[in-house]
């Protein structure tokens, strides 16, 4: 018994004591990879897993800039592929099924994904481009929101806002994928529901991330402004979808189609800006 006690005492004496708060970069809490005191706590006798090869370093390597760069690429490809789909679209719309070509202010994005246009013409090429563009854009949203909470891990409030926002962001991205794979001429009810859910979820996301960005002292506030403006546009569009003019008149079709163009491109611009901002923060070594 005495020998065992002596061994334990020697073990306790020889075990390196670790500070209650981890500081990467050799303890320089102002270094580029510094984390807040509340971000990671190390309790004796567990070794602190920060620094090169540790938890913080592994998290940094796993996320890095790549998810945000891929989101930027997803935004860019959406603009390019849908523009090509518009050029190829044979014609036909709600207001005038006999119209030729794609009318930017009278045709909807979803009409690019129709297997057969309202004029009865096959629409295979345009539909393939649209499905590809929207699927990749939706997956780009998923990537962004899975990676975004890494910037908001300092305090419980920021973590809660970012995680809840990201859960809804992932749902929104998957709903956009659902829109792509439910052509309106084949699955009109599912297509409409996925569309509404995608925009409604993204509205809450914009509110949560606007608050998280404002409350985060290290995050540039211009990105909070972008989220706020985006949330205002989304709120207006959700109202337009649910309470705006119907599709029974040419005027109603133009208002709805124009509103859709504005909000879809607003989504692309907002996510591109937020992704670009995240890439810049990572280059500066920002760590939550």
Q: What is the rounded CA–CA span in Å between residue 286 and residue 277? A: 11
* Total-model pTM: 0.78
The neighbouring-strand residues paired with 116 are 122
Mean pLDDT in residue range 266-282: 96
| Of the candidate ranges 61-70, 111-120, 212-221, the one whose mean pLDDT is the lowest | 61-70
Mean pLDDT taken over the chain: 83
Per-residue pLDDT, 178: 97
Whole-number Å distance between alpha carbons of 198 and 207: 15
Q: What is the mean pLDDT of residues 131-152?
A: 97
Q: What is the mean pLDDT of residues 177-196?
A: 96
Return the higher-pLDDT residue of 285 and 13.
285
CA distance 175 to 191: 9
Q: What backbone torsions phi and psi does residue 41 show, to the nearest 5 degrees?
A: -110, 135
Residue 246, class by beta-carbon neighbours within 10 Å (0-12 exposed, 13-18 middle, 19+ buried)?
A: exposed
User: How confident is residue 56, by pLDDT bands cut at 50, 70 and 90?
Assistant: very low
Among 70-79, 92-101, 193-202, where is mean pLDDT lowest? 92-101
Residues 6+ apart with CB under 8 A from 264: 109
Residue 248: partners with Cβ closer than 8 Å, 6 or more residues away: none
Sketch the domain layout of the chain as residue ranges: 1-63, 64-283
In this model, does residue 86 exceed pLDDT 90? yes
| C-alpha distances in Å from residue 49, one per residue of 21, 41, 98 | 11, 10, 66
Lowest mean pLDDT among 135-149, 167-181, 214-228, 246-260: 246-260
pLDDT on residue 226: 97
The token pair at 126 is: 């345009």
pLDDT recorded at residue 249: 87
Mean pLDDT throughout 10-35?
40
Q: Nearest-CA neighbor of 238 among 278, 206, 215? A: 206
Q: Which residue has the higher pLDDT, 205 or 13?
A: 205
Question: What is the structure's pLDDT at 95?
Answer: 82
pLDDT of residue 52: 41
């Amino acid at each position: 018994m005495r020998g065992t006690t002596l061994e334990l005492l020697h073990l306790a004496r020889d075990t390196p004591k670790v500070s209650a708060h981890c500081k990467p970069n050799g303890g320089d809490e102002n270094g580029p990879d510094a984390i807040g005191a509340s971000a990671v706590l190390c309790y004796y006798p567990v070794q602190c897993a920060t620094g090169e090869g540790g938890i913080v370093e592994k998290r940094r390597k796993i996320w890095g800039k790549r998810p945000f760069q891929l989101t930027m690429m997803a935004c860019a490809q959406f603009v390019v592929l849908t523009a090509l789909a518009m050029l190829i679209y044979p014609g036909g719309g709600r207001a005038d099924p006999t119209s030729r070509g794609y009318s930017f202010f009278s045709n909807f994005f979803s009409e690019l994904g129709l297997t057969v246009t309202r004029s009865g013409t096959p629409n295979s090429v345009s539909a393939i481009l649209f499905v590809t563009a929207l699927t990749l854009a939706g997956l780009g949203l998923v990537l962004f929101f899975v990676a975004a909470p890494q910037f908001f891990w300092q305090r419980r409030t920021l973590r809660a806002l970012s995680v809840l926002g990201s859960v809804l962001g992932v749902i929104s991205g998957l709903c956009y994928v659902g829109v792509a794979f439910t052509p309106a001429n084949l699955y009109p009810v599912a297509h409409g529901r996925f569309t509404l859910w995608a925009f409604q979820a993204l509205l809450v996301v914009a509110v949560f991330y606007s608050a998280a960005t404002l409350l985060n002292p290290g995050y540039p506030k211009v990105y909070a402004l972008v989220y706020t403006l985006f949330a205002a546009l989304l709120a207006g569009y959700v109202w337009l979808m649910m309470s705006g003019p119907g599709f029974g008149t040419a005027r109603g079709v133009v208002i709805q189609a124009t509103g859709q163009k504005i909000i879809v491109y607003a989504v692309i611009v907002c996510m591109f800006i937020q992704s670009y901002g995240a890439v810049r923060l990572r280059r500066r070594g920002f760590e939550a």
